[in-house]
Amino acid sequence: MDLIIASKSEVRQRILSCTKISIMAVSPQIDEESITRSLVAEKATPRDIADTLAEHKAKKVSVKNPGTWVLGCDQILAFEGEIFGKPKTPSALNSMLSRFSGQTHRLITANVIYKNAKPVWRYVAISHMTMYPMTKAEIENYVAEAWPDAQHTAGGYYFEENPHLFSEVNGNWFDIMGLSIKPIVEFLNQHTTKSILQSPKLVAVLGHPISHSKSPRMHRHWLKTNAISGDYIAIDIPPQRFVETLRVLIGAGVSGFNVTVPHKEKALLLSDKRSARAEKIGAANTLVIDANGKINADNTDGYGFITNLRSHCKHWVPAAGPALVLGAGGASRAIIVSLLEAGAPKIYLSNRTQQRALDVASEISPIIEVVSWAHKEQYLTKVMTVVNTTSLGMTGKPPLKIDISKINPGALVTDLVYSPIETPLLKQAKTLGCSVVGGIGMLLNQGVPGFEAWFGIRPVVNAEIEAIVVE
């Protein structure tokens, strides 16, 4: 046993586990409220209150576990001379957010390690958090939606899922989440004869919506199988807050990002350095943050798309005939460029907003012909490849309305949507004798270059990872 954490916090346990530290979690069962009231009455500083609470937790568990490192942690929120913990009711959360709105508060994260009932190390981190102003209606909506998670966090705003609530953050991600992992790892490395531990890197996929994303499951599997210290999470960012929230996350130490609908084109514009393929496509799906906080942008969608088709349909020949591409967003640009590079002689492009399709065609190639959304079915007899790059047909989205009854039965049909795994488009195409390829393979293959750029190891795409992602 490397470490006992005197906490049942799932977030803290996950942070420790992603460093490959062997841990056991034990609830310290101390009366935090009574201790806090006593310390406040003694006019203790917020820093000392957090530190004392962490120490009480570590000490109580250490007494019962001699010879083992025991980590105690505590986090409190300080604002306008008051201490705020976890909200007890939705009404209390509403009141807290009303006070924090548009203001800067401090999150104080204390970490104490005991061994043989004696303190051997302590560390306190202070993060400054500035919230955007929130209207009464916005606060009420947030409380109604977020209460199940918010009630378990100091201040009640659950930063992991809501960084867009903040205009500025001065603090490290893991400190904000309640555990100062880097100094903890440094201490353990100095006091253990086992293999050297590494501080975890954090990468996130950003989109709106994002709850359907399979990327965290995929990347966490690769992290585990390659014994890499790191984590990968999904964050939903509203389009109007994308730029500011990306800056907040970079400032908090996030090492890289995948970017999906609807942020891909904006992500490219924000980058400091761009790959040739991202530049050509006009959108980015992979961001790597360098040591100076600069954004390096790439687009691996085309690579993932072509690799997926070739691996699942050996007889597919892109040069055999035109392709019909539905949608003109960031993913569509990548697919069009990759199809042209693979030898497709012509692209028919259709989008609900036709001007957007015309813009894409004018920017990429003169052999792209824009066809109206209402008449897209007329081209199905002419093409050898059909690609849906829209989110239509995705779980929670409107259906993709298209009659493919007259499709060339020799065509390959593929859908970038992977939730559900087999979309209505693919089901219908299969009944008509077409070859079909789902979007999950593209997700897996496009993730390979990004994972290698962030973590330094090139992962393997195989049946095991596909089964894990689709389960």
- Tokens 């591409």 identify what position? 325
Q: What is the pLDDT of residues 5-33, one digit of tens each?
A: 999 999 999 999 999 888 999 999 999 99
Place of tokens 């003694």: 42
- The residue written with tokens 């996350």 in the block is 249
Does residue 447 lie within any of the structural domains? Answer: no
Look at residue 158 in the predicted model and tell me its pLDDT. 87
Global pTM value: 0.90
- Specify whether the CB–CB gap between 353 and 328 falls below 8 A: yes
Are 49 and 125 in a shared domain? yes
CATH of the domain at 407: 3.40.50.720
Are residue 277 and residue 372 in the same domain, yes or no? no
Backbone torsions φ then ψ of 180, nearest 5 degrees: -85, 80
**271, part of any domain:** yes
Same domain, 264 and 343: no
What is the Cα–Cα distance from 155 to 95, expressed in whole angstroms? Answer: 10
Query: What letter represents residue 78's amino acid?
Result: A
Residues 346 and 434 in one domain: yes
User: Would you say 156 and 149 are in contact if contact means Cβ atoms under 8 Å apart?
Assistant: no
User: Mutual orientation of helices 90-100 and 136-150 as an angle, nearest 10°?
Assistant: 130
Q: How far is the C-alpha of 318 from the C-alpha of 342, rounded, in Å? A: 6
Residue from 249, 247, 235, 242 nearest 173 by CA: 249
Backbone φ and ψ of 235, nearest 5°: -130, 125
Which residue matches tokens 């539905």?
Answer: 326
Same domain, yes or no, for 365 and 281?
no
Best CA proximity match to 139, nearest among 97, 105, 87, 100: 97
User: Are 273 and 294 within 8 A, CB to CB?
Assistant: yes
State the pLDDT at residue 194: 67
Task: Work out the end-to-end distance of the chain between its first and last CA atoms, rounded to an integer number of angstroms.
Answer: 32
d(CA 323, CA 372): 15
Domain co-membership, 278 together with 314: no
- 85 contacts 77 by C-beta, under 8 angstroms: yes
**What is the C-alpha separation between 13 and 9, in angstroms, rounded?**
6
Q: Is 94 left (phi over 0), alpha (psi -120 to 50) or beta?
A: alpha
* Active site members: 264
Task: Enter the tokens of residue 172.
Answer: 């490290």
- State the burial class of residue 29 (Cβ atoms within 10 Å of its Cβ: 0-12, 13-18, 19+): exposed
Residues of the chain falling short of pLDDT 70: 1, 193-195
> Is residue 454 assigned to a domain?
no
Written as six digits, the tokens of 329 are 């967003």
Q: Which of 260, 265, 305 is nearest to 281 (CA)?
A: 265
Residue 450 falls inside a structural domain: no
Euclidean distance between CA atoms 19 and 2, whole angstroms = 12
| Domain span holding position 286 | 202-297
Q: Distance (Å, rounded) from C-alpha 71 to C-alpha 120?
A: 10
For residue 451, is it within any domain? no
Task: For residues 199 and 184, give the distance between their C-alpha atoms in angstroms, rounded to a whole number.
Answer: 9
Residue 153 lies in a domain: yes
11/130 same-domain check = yes
CA angle 117, 123, 124 (to 5 degrees): 125
Residues 215 and 236: beta-carbon distance below 8 Å:
no
Triad 59, 63, 65: Cα angle to 5°? 110
Contact 423, 398 (CB under 8 A): no
Token readout for 247 is: 């800056």
In the prediction, which pLDDT does 193 show?
62
136: left (phi over 0), alpha (psi -120 to 50) or beta: alpha
**Which CA distances in Å does 440 have to 398, 437, 457, 463?**
20, 9, 21, 12
Question: Do 43 and 183 fall into the same domain?
Answer: yes
Question: Where are the extended beta strands (E) located within 223-367?
Answer: 230-236, 256-259, 273-274, 286-289, 295-298, 323-326, 347-350
Q: Residue 119: which CATH number?
A: 3.90.950.10
Q: Are residue 273 and residue 417 in the same domain, yes or no?
A: no
- The reply to whether 34 and 51 lie within a common domain is yes
The Cα 197–Cα 211 span in angstroms is: 31
- Total domains in the fold of the chain: 3
- What's the token pair of residue 9? 């916090």
Asked whether residue 284 falls in the same domain as residue 388, the answer is no
Tell me, yes or no, whether 331 and 371 share the same domain: yes
Q: Pairing relation of β-strands 104-115 and 70-79?
A: antiparallel
- Answer whether residue 471 is part of any domain: no
Which amino acid makes up residue 46?
Answer: P
Domain end among 297, 318, 334:
297
CA distances 364 to 300, 347, 400, Å, are: 17, 11, 25
Residues 310, 311, 312, CA angle at the centre, nearest 5°?
A: 95
